[in-house]
């Protein structure tokens, strides 16, 4: 068990960059920690009829939160557009709002997109149907169910304020403020399951200086009444809780890889693996569950993705991510193609840093001239996606993105000076992780990668199934603006929403 002091910048947003860029300072955790997410999956695979990821929620909605659905699997089973030459329509993001999350898509393919203070609904063909606007900042993925969409704000005010809006009209059905809990500057997700709404939150406890979240609050989803709260001694980054059993229990992993499962009914602890939390925070990764729980976490100078038995918390397997790649994102879990293997698909890589403030003419030269960037000693960041066999953790394939020789993410560099001058509530940078969570498309046999370096969305298909991703097995759409979260999809529809827009809608 390793335990070093961690150098973790406590300034807003910057801790993620530190994790990636200074890997050696990112901390250690215990290998015997955590839960049984993967194990459960292994069990399912053995069953004659393995159940695919739960990709449509009980309302028929197609994309309901960060990670796609209540399991966080980000796996889908429908065909989506493959041709990215011409979007059906775009929303220009004319106010330069920061778009931290994937859009949500309902059963009629209406699109809901959240900015820092606003939530908009668009029809499938691009008509804005309503706009909800208030004046507190938020950075949490909304979620929706049963005709209601939930939008959480209040960041920096030490409280959680939740608006429950009619999906049809945008009218406020209830507004609930929970005092005593704030939340970190990262990118959490609300979870709706079993008639309860779960809010990732940060108590006033000692760990609150590290950012992230350490608590979960449960509300009655129809009234907003507070049901219970649970505070851990861990830090969850980009806290996206999930449920493996349709809302009976809630599962999550800490930044140091500790797996926790609690009862959704009363918030009582069910299973918790051990981890050296004194060492943390460790990485920006977390866990996905549902059909397969597991944790992605950093381990000192090493770096692991692990799978756990969800019942006992025993480790099922551990896969070491080789440097310079790091496990800094939640994994996706799904069948790679129809009849194909169940896979854990993980975005591994480094997180770009903060932009340098430059005069406009220097910035133009910096952006267009790689030699000049070299002269300025810009770092070079790596990024890859790995598909691992969910039963064993062994690698099926790896795709490496071209290295990124810039100080910061695309879009953050271009807008930094302007946004800083404005002092906007939108913040001056997005500072995304290394990539969005990959989308596993079982129907089309593809994996969709969204780069938080160069802003490319890349569709990967190992067409000849030789375990090597050849150049002719990828197609890219270049947005020029980094993604924090990846595309949302519905049958025949793909919505890509990089940090600073525009939002692109492709239709078949």
Residues near ligand NAG (CB under 6 A) are 36, 39-40, 42-43, 195-196, 220, 222-223, 227, 309, 311-312, 401-402, 454, 456, 470, 472, 476, 478
Q: Whose Cβ is closer to ligand NAG: residue 90's or residue 311's?
A: 311
Q: Whose Cβ is closer to ligand NAG: residue 213's or residue 218's?
A: 218
Half-sphere exposure at residue 198, Cβ-oriented, CA atoms within 13 angstroms: 31
Give alpha helix (H) positions in 300-405: 360-368, 370-375
Strands 213-220 and 226-236, sheet pairing: antiparallel
- Write down the least CB distance from residue 312 to ligand NAG, Å: 4
Q: Whose Cβ is closer to ligand NAG: residue 114's or residue 218's?
A: 218
- Write down the least CB distance from residue 196 to ligand NAG, Å: 5
Q: What letter would DSSP give residue 108?
A: T
Q: Whose Cβ is closer to ligand NAG: residue 53's or residue 315's?
A: 315
Say which residue the tokens 């009218």 belong to.
Answer: 171
Q: Whose Cβ is closer to ligand NAG: residue 303's or residue 309's?
A: 309
Q: Whose Cβ is closer to ligand NAG: residue 327's or residue 456's?
A: 456
Q: Is 49 exposed, middle or buried (0-12, 13-18, 19+ CB in 10 A)?
A: exposed
Q: Whose Cβ is closer to ligand NAG: residue 123's or residue 312's?
A: 312
- Write down the least CB distance from residue 45 to ligand NAG, Å: 9
Strands 111-114 and 294-299, sheet pairing: unpaired
Q: What is the largest CA-CA distance in the chain?
A: 63
3 state DSSP class of 3: coil
Task: List Cβ neighbours of 118 (8 Å cut-off, separation of 6 or more).
Answer: 97, 131, 132, 133
- Write down the least CB distance from residue 462 to ligand NAG, Å: 11
- Write down the least CB distance from residue 429 to ligand NAG, Å: 20
- Write down the least CB distance from residue 484 to ligand NAG, Å: 18
Token couple for 442: 């079982």
- Write down the least CB distance from residue 385 to ligand NAG, Å: 13
CA distances from 238 to 28, 101, 349, 507 (A): 19, 11, 17, 30
Bridge partners (DSSP) of residue 306 are: 295, 318
């Amino acid at each position: 068990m390793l335990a070093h002091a961690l150098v973790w910048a406590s300034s807003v947003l910057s801790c993620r960059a530190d994790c990636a860029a200074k890997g050696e300072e990112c901390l250690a955790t215990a290998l015997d920690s955590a839960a049984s997410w993967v194990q459960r999956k292994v069990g399912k695979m053995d069953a004659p009829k393995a159940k695919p990821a739960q990709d449509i929620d009980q309302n028929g909605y197609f994309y309901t939160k960060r990670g796609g659905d209540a399991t966080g699997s980000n796996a889908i089973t429908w065909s989506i557009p493959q041709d990215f030459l011409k979007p059906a329509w775009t929303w220009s993001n004319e106010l330069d709002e920061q778009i931290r999350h994937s859009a949500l898509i309902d059963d009629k393919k209406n699109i809901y997109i959240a900015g820092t203070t606003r939530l908009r609904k668009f029809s499938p063909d691009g008509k804005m149907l309503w706009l909800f606007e208030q004046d507190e900042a938020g950075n949490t993925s909304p979620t929706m169910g049963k005709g209601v969409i939930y939008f959480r704000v209040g960041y920096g005010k030490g409280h959680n304020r939740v608006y429950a809006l009619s999906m049809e009209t945008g009218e406020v059905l209830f507004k609930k403020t929970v005092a005593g809990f704030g939340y970190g500057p990262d990118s959490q997700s609300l979870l709706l399951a079993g008639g309860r709404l779960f809010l990732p939150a940060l108590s006033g406890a000692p760990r609150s200086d590290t950012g992230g979240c350490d608590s979960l609050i449960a509300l009655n989803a129809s009234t907003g009444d507070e049901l219970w709260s649970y505070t851990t001694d861990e830090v969850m980054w980009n806290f996206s809780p999930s449920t493996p059993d349709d809302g009976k229990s809630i599962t999550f992993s800490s930044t140091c890889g500790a797996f926790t499962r609690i009862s959704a009914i009363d918030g009582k602890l069910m299973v918790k693996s051990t981890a050296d939390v004194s060492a943390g925070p460790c990485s920006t990764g977390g866990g996905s569950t549902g059909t397969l729980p597991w944790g992605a976490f950093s381990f000192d100078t090493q770096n692991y993705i692990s799978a756990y038995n969800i019942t006992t918390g025993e480790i099922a397997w551990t896969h070491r991510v080789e440097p310079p790649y790091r496990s800094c994102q939640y994994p996706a879990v799904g069948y790679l193609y129809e009849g194909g293997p169940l896979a854990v698909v993980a975005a591994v890589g480094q997180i770009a840093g903060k932009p340098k403030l430059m005069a406009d003419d220097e910035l133009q030269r910096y952006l267009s001239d790689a030699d000049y960037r070299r002269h300025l000693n810009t770092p070079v960041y790596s990024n890859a996606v790995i598909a691992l066999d969910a039963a064993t953790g062994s690698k099926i394939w790896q795709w490496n993105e071209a290295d990124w020789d810039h100080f910061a993410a695309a879009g953050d560099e271009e807008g930094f000076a302007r946004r800083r001058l404005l002092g906007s509530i939108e913040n001056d940078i997005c500072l995304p992780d290394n990539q969005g969570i990959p989308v596993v498309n079982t129907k089309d046999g593809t994996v969709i990668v969204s780069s938080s370096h160069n802003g490319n969305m890349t569709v990967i298909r190992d067409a000849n199934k030789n375990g090597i991703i050849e150049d002719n097995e990828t197609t890219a759409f270049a947005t020029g603006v980094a993604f924090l979260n990846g595309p949302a999809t519905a049958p025949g529809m793909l919505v890509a929403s990089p940090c600073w827009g525009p939002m692109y809608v492709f239709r078949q």
